[in-house]
Amino acid sequence: MSESLPTNLQGRRILLGISGGIAAYKAAELVRGLRKGGAEVRVVMTEAAIEFVTPMTLQALSGNPVRVGLFDPAHEAVMGHIELARWAELVVVAPASADFLARLHAGMANDLLTTLCLATTAPIVVAPAMNRQMWQAAVTQQNVVGLRGRGVIVWGPAEGEQACGEVGPGRMVEPAELLAQCDSHFADGPLKGVRVTITAGPTREAVDPVRFISNHSSGKMGFAIAEAAAQMGAEVRLVAGPVALPTPAGVERIDVESAEQMLEAVLADPGEIFIACAAVADYRPAEVADKKVKKSAEEISLQLVRNPDILATVAALEGAPFTVGFAAETENLIENGRGKLQNKRLDMVAANWVGARAAGGGFNSDENALQLIWHDGEEALPRCHKHELARRLLEVVVRRFQQR
């Protein structure tokens, strides 16, 4: 774990829940980091969790007794589970197994940890950890969507090698990242407690098993906005197309490939502010070949159909979020940007040059410039590094959002 300590955890009361799974051993490192950051930590384990890590270890690291059973005479004589539920400022379940997610979604209270989650008014965070097939199972995804809809915060999972030897999504987010996310949760800032959903990167629209239609977007601008929003205290969901960028600290990342997948992920929780920075493919092949298309004729034709318009769909929702669209233009920057603002009924457009007019900015560059446009005004943000540009953009978004 990094030696740089978080700055917002001092005196915070965090209840760490540990469910059964091999990733339970990582909870010890998380407890240690939270304590070093100044937080007070109490640990609740499921019966399955103690098969992977001992309560004694976590008691030594947390400095508090570890609770396991719901029917503990020493604690329940004074309704200890209610006291714990009221004590917590934040409940973090890491790892959260598929079984725990299912029971939490069903509203069950058949052990101490699920009972606490029902009884608390504190924000609840789950950090899923399971085999990739279990994570990708339809019922698990339905449970996660349902939990998000009830306000449960989902951090992860990450992708990589798993204990079973398989590779894919399902690894618990590493303790250092969880620590940073806890720190960001308590950060004071103009977006404190505001749910922000951001799209970033390109989409890929499959032609056959080896080819696809895409574009040059690197995702750098969207990732910079996500990082800046988290630093301003927002609860950030980053829906990312296929890019090779690290997840910013304190950000929940959902990886997708196609425009249809991106739309589904966005609609699961479009947030209170939605910033559509992704370069979504406007069209996709009408049919996807199930086998590689072999080179044969001198010419071939590819029939394309329109993809769903993610930005317009979100803007048209009942009770739509404050919606910001990006417009990458090769000509008529302000005119085209304002047209997009009006046609899609957006709150703001961030327009930028691409191609020959970009002068070193735009796609794949570390720098860019933006022309912000809203219904009764506009503001130019001069060229600078995308991290600084993201901060300046969000300062304007915050002002407009608060005036909405």
| Residue 141 to residue 91: CA distance in whole angstroms | 21
For residue 6, the model assigns a pLDDT of 58
Q: What are the tens digits of pLDDT across the range 121-144?
A: 888 999 999 988 899 899 998 998
Q: Which has the closest alpha carbon to 336: 371, 377, 295?
A: 371
Report yes or no on 8 lying in a domain. no
**Are residues 376 and 272 located together in one domain of the fold?**
yes
**Are residues 335 and 291 located together in one domain of the fold?**
yes
Residues 6+ apart with CB under 8 A from 335: none
For residue 187, the model assigns a pLDDT of 75
**Are residues 246 and 389 located together in one domain of the fold?**
yes
Residue-averaged pLDDT of the chain? 88
| Residue 233 to residue 103: CA distance in whole angstroms | 30
Asked whether residue 240 carries a pLDDT value surpassing 90, the answer given is yes
What mean pLDDT is predicted for residues 216-240?
91
Report yes or no on 5 lying in a domain. no
Report yes or no on 252 lying in a domain. yes
3-state secondary structure of 42: strand
Q: How confident is the model at residue 2 (pLDDT cuts 50, 70, 90)?
A: very low
Here the CATH number for the domain that contains residue 302 is 3.40.50.10300
**Are residues 45 and 97 located together in one domain of the fold?**
yes
Asked whether residue 157 carries a pLDDT value surpassing 80, the answer given is yes
Asked whether residue 222 carries a pLDDT value surpassing 60, the answer given is yes
**Are residues 294 and 170 located together in one domain of the fold?**
no
Q: What are the tens digits of pLDDT across the range 3-29?
A: 455 578 999 999 999 999 899 999 999
Report the alpha-carbon angle 339-341-346, nearest 5: 160
- Catalytic-residue membership of 164: yes
Report yes or no on 376 lying in a domain. yes
Asked whether residue 1 carries a pLDDT value surpassing 70, the answer given is no
Report yes or no on 208 lying in a domain. yes
Q: What are the tens digits of pLDDT across the range 281-328?
A: 999 999 998 889 888 878 888 899 999 999 999 999 999 999 999 998
**Are residues 85 and 159 located together in one domain of the fold?**
yes
Report yes or no on 31 lying in a domain. yes
Report yes or no on 214 lying in a domain. yes
**Are residues 154 and 201 located together in one domain of the fold?**
no
For residue 164, the model assigns a pLDDT of 66
**Are residues 298 and 394 located together in one domain of the fold?**
yes
For residue 77, the model assigns a pLDDT of 43
Domain boundary among 159, 185, 211: 185
Which of residues 332 and 320 earns the better pLDDT score?
320
Domain boundary among 167, 185, 203: 185
Tally of CA atoms within 13 A in the half-sphere of 81 that contains its CB = 21
Place of tokens 């910013």: 248
For residue 3, the model assigns a pLDDT of 47
**Are residues 158 and 214 located together in one domain of the fold?**
no
Q: Which has the closest alpha carbon to 348: 282, 398, 385?
A: 398
Asked whether residue 396 carries a pLDDT value surpassing 50, the answer given is yes
**Are residues 71 and 121 located together in one domain of the fold?**
yes
For residue 358, the model assigns a pLDDT of 55
Report yes or no on 4 lying in a domain. no
**Are residues 21 and 69 located together in one domain of the fold?**
yes
Which domain, by its residues, includes 373? Answer: 195-403
How many domains in the chain? 2
Q: What are the tens digits of pLDDT across the range 36-81?
A: 999 999 999 999 999 999 999 999 999 999 998 776 655 554 446 6
Asked whether residue 165 carries a pLDDT value surpassing 80, the answer given is no
Burial degree of 228 (CB within 10 A; 0-12, 13-18, 19+) = buried
Domain boundary among 154, 185, 216: 185
| Residue 13 to residue 9: CA distance in whole angstroms | 9
For residue 75, the model assigns a pLDDT of 53
For residue 294, the model assigns a pLDDT of 87
Q: What are the tens digits of pLDDT across the range 271-284?
A: 999 999 999 999 99
Q: How many CB atoms lie within 10 A of CB 171?
A: 24
Here the CATH number for the domain that contains residue 173 is 3.40.50.1950
Selecting among 117, 164, 277, 384, the annotated active-site residue is 164
Beta-bridge mates of residue 285? 304
**Are residues 141 and 239 located together in one domain of the fold?**
no
| Dihedral (Cα; 138, 139, 143, 148), 10-degree rounding | 10
